[in-house]
A and B are shown apart, each in its own frame.
Chain A
Amino acid sequence: MGRLDGMVCLVTGAAQGIGKGIVIRMAHEGARVAVNARVDDDRLKRVVGEMGGFPAPADIADAVAVRRMVAGVEANVGPIEVLVCNAARMTMMPFLDQDPDQWWEQVHVNLTGHMEVIAAVLPGMRRLGRGRIVLFSSLWGPIGWKNASGYASSKSALISLGRALGRELSPERIYVTVVAPGIIDTPQLQVDADDAGVTLEEMHRIYAENIPAGRIGTPDDVARAVVFLSTEAARAYAGQTIYPNGGEIRGSM
């Protein structure tokens, strides 16, 4: 028996990478997973096809599309008990060189977009009388990163959003938590390798050298943490951020 048997879960940004890993793990645990992606393309169809999930395409930066998507999941799959806010956009660029619209787009999607998703999902969770919301920050949120000022700003804000909503919604048995992954094996690594002018294998090695665990993470490392936070145990961690990063960041965290 899975730990999420029959639970309706909505995962945003799930056509690839960590989001796809979460869908796979949640389905393995018995969940009925609604798979969100920005566009209804072959990648989304493949994930849904492999996992037996439900397609829920929508650009989360589009509030109208988000409300339509959530209503569709509720009508066709059932009341959403777990929401995973994973979708994100990132543009690496020196702060002064970046077009302001491009800078703000990351905040609009990563932060404001998920505020729209949460607002659309909350009334249903209230009717259900319970829920879990897992927000995705990033290693680069709390520590910052060169040429990632927009992305880091948005991801840091998600930690604060999690703290505030954690306090606000706990009394209603809706537990909000945050996951801030470190370096994870996703298609982003190829982008990083291209930027650094090295091969993908070299990129893996370079990253792993700085990780006490001796390896970069897998999407499933993160997905297992999300499953944990999708269970009732999340109540102990309302408002908290957890850091699957192999020990890479240290300090006050």
Chain B
Amino acid sequence: MEETERSSRVALVTGAKGVVGAAIIARLQAEGFVVGGLDDGTGGGDLAMSVDLTDRSRTMAAVERVAAELGPISVLVTAPYLHDTAPFGEMSADRWKRLLSAHLGATVNACAAAVPAMVNAGRGTVVTISSWLALAGIPGEAYHAAATGSILAFTKSFALEVASSGVRVNCIAVGPIEADHVLPADVADTVVFLANDGDFFVGQVFSAAAGAVV
């Protein structure tokens, strides 16, 4: 029964071109999901679309198209990956705005576009991707920590707003991939766990940091 149910499920991944987003798409497809992959670049998955995720109305239109072509979206994963860093005081206002939009802006836009239909359906899984930099203090990363940390704060409150409608929102704070501590596959496994088995997790932060942050 579970298998048939899963094979017809549709997932939407934003930030499809990033290392983490791409691993999540591959894993969801292996689980039988049909995946729409949005990105500022070329996108990925079964329906790849290029869209400016920091633009609310364009994101709405793209998500609408994914739902129209693939079917109702039951899993949303937001996986922003723009990394920009500068010592505090040395990032221009425009650069900071771009960084914050790429993380919080794109996350919020994707949720605004995809979650109302989940609420109507009475079920759905949302996984926001943040960073270990949001949990650990790292000199020189104040801007990036703030941009990704805002996703944690958004996730916790938003999760409570839609929990009673059967939609589950949780966050994965991804550890230092560069240092090969955490594998994108582990993050992807967590997404599948939350989609299939995570109904009693609400507004939680999964720190996939392999001990870098506990």
- List residues of A whose CB falls within 8 A of some B CB: 163, 166-167, 170, 182, 212-214, 217-218, 221-222, 224-225, 227-228, 231-233, 235-240, 242-247, 250, 253
Q: Please measure, in the bound complex, the distance between the C-alpha atom of A104 and the C-alpha atom of B175, giving whole angstroms.
A: 38
Given known contacts A237-B208, A242-B206, A247 and B163 CB-to-CB distance under 8 angstroms: yes
Find the residue from B196, B198, B204, B211 having the highest chain A CB count within 10 A: B211
Contacts of A212 in B (CB 8 A): 159-160, 163-164, 202-203
B: residues with CB less than 8 A from A are 156, 159-160, 163-164, 168, 175, 182-183, 185-187, 189-190, 193, 196-211, 214
Cross-chain contact A238 with B211 (CB below 8 angstroms): yes
Q: Nearest B residue to A176 by beta-carbon distance?
A: B211
A238 touches B164 (CB 8 A): no
Chain A nearest CB from B174 CB (Å) reads: 9
The answer to whether A236 touches B186, judged by C-beta atoms less than 8 angstroms apart, is yes
Q: Using CB atoms, name the residue of chain A closest to B164.
A: A214
Cα(A207)–Cα(B118), bound, Å? 26
Q: Is the CB of B190 within 8 A of A253?
A: no
B208 contacts A236, CB within 8 Å? yes
Task: Give the docked Cα–Cα distance between A246 and B102 (Å).
Answer: 30
Number of A-B contacts (CB under 8 A): 93
Query: Which A residues touch B186, using CB under 8 A?
Result: 232-233, 235-236
In the bound complex, CA of A233 to CA of B193 (Å): 10
**Residues on B with beta carbons closer than 8 Å to the beta carbon of A239:** 211, 214
B167–chain A nearest beta-carbon distance, Å: 10
Nearest to A227 among chain B residues (CB) is B197
Shortest C-beta distance, B18 to chain A (Å), equals 17
Q: Please judge, given known A-B contacts A163-B214, A236-B190, whether A213 and B182 are in contact too, CB under 8 Å.
A: no
A224 and B197 contacting across the interface, CB-CB below 8 Å:
yes
Residues of B within 8 A of A222 (CB): 200
User: In the complex, what distance in Å separates the CA atom of A39 from the CA atom of B208?
Assistant: 38
Main secondary structure, interface of B, reads mixed
Name 24 A/B residue pairs within 8 A (Cβ), A-sorted.
Answer: A166-B211, A167-B214, A170-B210, A212-B159, A214-B164, A218-B200, A224-B196, A225-B198, A228-B197, A231-B189, A233-B193, A236-B190, A236-B209, A237-B206, A238-B210, A238-B211, A239-B214, A240-B214, A243-B201, A245-B202, A246-B202, A247-B159, A250-B156, A253-B204
Bound Cα distance from A228 to B203, whole angstroms = 18
Q: Distance in Å from the Cβ of A12 to the closest Cβ of chain B?
A: 22
* Complex interface: chain B residues within 8 A of A237 (CB): 206-208, 210
Residues B214 and A236 in contact, CB atoms below 8 Å apart: no
CB-based nearest B residue for A245 = B200
B206 CB, nearest partner CB in chain A, Å? 7
Write out the residue numbers on chain B whose beta carbons fall within 8 Å of the beta carbon of A213.
163, 168, 199-200, 202
CB pair B200–A217 under 8 Å, yes or no, is yes
Residues of B within 8 A of A225 (CB): 193, 197-198, 201
A235 and B156 CA atoms in complex are apart in Å by: 25
**Taking A170-B210, A228-B197, A235-B210 as contacts, is the C-beta distance between A250 and B203 under 8 angstroms?**
yes
Q: Are B214 and A247 in contact (CB under 8 A)?
A: no
B160 touching A247 by the CB < 8 A rule?
yes
Interfacial chain B residues near A221, Cβ < 8 Å: 199-200
Q: A170-B210, A214-B164, A239-B214 are in contact. List 11 more A-B contacts (CB 8 A).
A: A212-B164, A222-B200, A224-B193, A224-B198, A233-B189, A235-B186, A236-B187, A236-B190, A236-B208, A242-B201, A253-B205
- B168: chain A residues at CB < 8 Å are 213
**A237-B187 Cα distance, complex, nearest whole Å:** 10
Whether the pair A246, B200 counts as a contact (CB closer than 8 A) is yes
> Measured between C-beta atoms, what is the minimum distance from B162 to chain A in Å?
9
- 8 A-B pairs with the lowest CB-CB distances in the bound complex, closest first: A247-B202, A224-B197, A236-B186, A221-B200, A233-B189, A212-B163, A236-B208, A239-B214
- Expressed in whole angstroms, the minimum distance between the Cβ of A182 and any Cβ of chain B is 8
Q: A212-B163, A247-B159 are in contact. Are A242 and B204 (CB under 8 A)?
A: yes
In the bound assembly, the distance between CA atoms of A227 and B159 in angstroms comes to 24
Q: Which residues of B contact A235 (CB under 8 A)?
A: 183, 186, 210
Chain B minimum-CB-distance residue to A223: B197
**Alpha-carbon gap, A182 to B163, bound state (A):** 16
Min CB–CB distance A123 → chain B (angstroms): 22
Shortest Cβ distance from residue A1 to the other chain B in the assembled complex, whole angstroms:
12
